[in-house]
Amino acid sequence: MNFIKQFSLLVLFIVAFSASGFSQETTKPDELEFTEITTPVDSVSKKVDSVSSRVSKPVSIEVKAPKVDKVEKTTFWGIFISGFIGGLAALLMPCIFPMLPLTVSFFTKGADKGKAFSKAALYGFFIILIYVILGLLVTVIFGADALNSLSTNGVFNFFFFLLLVTFAASFFGAFELTLPSKWVNKMDANSDKGGVAGLFFMAGTLALVSFSCTGPIIGTLLVQAATTGALLGPAIGMFGFSLALAIPFALFALFPSAMSALPKSGGWLNSVKVVLGFLELAFALKFLSNVDLAYHWEWFDREIFLVLWIVIFAMMGFYLLGKLKFSHDSSLSYISVPRLLMSIVILSFTVYLVPGLWGAPLKSVSAFLPPMETQDFDLYTPSLIGGSHSADPRTLDEKPHKYSDIFHSPLKLNAFFDYQEGIEYAKKMNKPVLIDFTGHACVNCRKMEANVWPDRNVYKMISQDYVLIQLYVDDKTDVMPEDVVISSKGRKLNTIGKKWSDLQASKFNSNSQPFYVLLDPRNEQLMVTPQGADYDVENYKKFLEAGLAAYQKR
């Protein structure tokens, strides 16, 4: 029984933390207007070389961007899974777990199995309804445009950092997050009405009474869902959360004898809260890192992030061993075997993080970490680009690239950070262009750079066969006055991020990151269909090879 109530909790929380990466994809399809793109005829295109001069008339480019439906579906599934696991975690909170047998016994007392199940199912439906409405309210209050900007807005990200730190402190026992008692009393009084209305108010009472435990989980899920930019993200996250919360009530009403297999309430429930508090604290650092990167503060580097994570997870391991104790913890007379196994897993993960201080890629968590280029002491990248990985010296440009003082390319690649500058250089070098629409807050971008780009063949093609242009769509740096652009919709594009975000949306009918575009610089035409994140190295290699083959045929 101890194994059920302890070891499974650790697995649950580790999966919950890692699953949050699914919902961090920066996807903003609601802002797009799909139009036919034609080759621009401007001052640059008038100076094309002999290859492009053979084109007798403007060429219509039909952009086949990745299907938004597929991107949205992936994001929504990630949000739902995160919400569902969060609901399972909430079920094991001290405010809810003890209420499970009491509520089920209320349904089964003096009623046949069918009637008890129907009541419990209706009760569960109302739990789902209440939390989904909460998710929809977040969308209605903030609006689609605000949700789209949350993932990159410095003020919001810093607020989310403080919010998650507050939630962690609550789980550690510093204080309890409670709602006004009159709300709870009024809801509880209405639950005595009986019938369908009574069941609805019973579900509402559960939501209010358990807020001190579920509030931080709900808040984290809503923040996580909102920062994806997906319009229905908060509602889907709350659906997954409430579904996990509601299922046990219906199942135990159908099989009441299974209640005897549940572990009894005790001090282990508070241990669940504390472990989740450590995870909230670790997750909060990602939002602080987003702000640091977007505004180029350059003080929250990869080493500092890793040191904090190492300390947080080490303390979690020591807590499980009974070396740390919080105010609400029960006395621990001995360490059970399952608790020992959990501490081994946590402390092993802590040791795994340590080589990252010297530049180890840490591929399993690379999506959460700041980019490798923020690392001051990096032994990994020099070993990667040495030998057969060395860049072709003919592709190196002696002239400093525009914006290279604030951006640093991954893996020491010779990247450009301005679209036109990169196109002109590619024409001079007679090479195709790889445009990487990326972002500081894009976890999938970091995962691609850490897990796919270092592959020997992929790295060789990017460094030697292509001209890499990295365009950050969420950067907050103001452009020079002469570079300010007014978009076709009348928007003033006065920051680097706005400029490249508008370019991606207007020229390539997409606004998700990462987004990889292979262009022929001679006429700025697509060579193959653009694509997003693909962690299969072979698939990404074929994508780059297809671009090279198309370029050679022209």
Q: Is the peptide bond before 514 cis (omega within 30 degrees of 0)?
A: yes
Structure-token pair, residue 360: 């180890």
**One-character DSSP codes across 357-388:** GGT---GGGTTTSPPGGG-SS-SHHHHHHSGG
CA distance 309 to 304: 9
The tens digit of pLDDT for each residue in 13-22 reads 443 443 334 3
For residue 88, is pLDDT > 50? yes
What share of the chain has pLDDT > 90, as a percent? 20
Mean pLDDT of the chain: 76
For residue 404, is pLDDT > 90? no
Identify which of 63-67, 110-114, 354-358 has the greatest average pLDDT: 354-358
Helix-helix angle 211-226:68-91, to 10 degrees: 170
Closest CA to 383 of 372, 374, 396, 394: 372
The tens digit of pLDDT for each residue in 320-355 reads 998 888 878 877 788 888 889 999 999 999 999 999
Give burial (CB, 10 Å; 0-12/13-18/19+) of 158: middle
Contact 90, 214 (CB under 8 A): yes
pLDDT at 210: 73
Closest CA to 379 of 362, 356, 408: 356
The tens digit of pLDDT for each residue in 49-82 reads 433 333 333 333 334 444 444 444 556 777 888 8
pLDDT-derived band at 42 (thresholds 50, 70, 90) equals very low
Report if pTM > 0.85: no
For residue 546, is pLDDT > 60? yes
Give the mean pLDDT of 500-525: 87
pLDDT at 56: 34
What is the number of other CB atoms lying within 10 angstroms of the CB of residue 367?
23
Strands 525-526 and 515-520: antiparallel
Q: Which of 3-7, 250-254, 460-464 has the lowest mean pLDDT?
A: 3-7
For residue 28, is pLDDT > 70? no
Closest CA to 371 of 416, 306, 415, 433: 306
Contact 271, 254 (CB under 8 A): no
pLDDT at 380: 78
Strand order across the 415-416 sheet: 415-416, 467-472, 433-438, 515-520, 525-526
pLDDT at 471: 94
Give the mean pLDDT of 384-394: 49
**Helix or strand or coil: residue 423?**
helix
Length of the chain, please? 554
C-alpha R_g of the chain: 27
Contact 453, 488 (CB under 8 A): no
**One-character DSSP codes across 41-74:** -STTGGG--TTGGG--SPPEE---PPPHHHHHHH
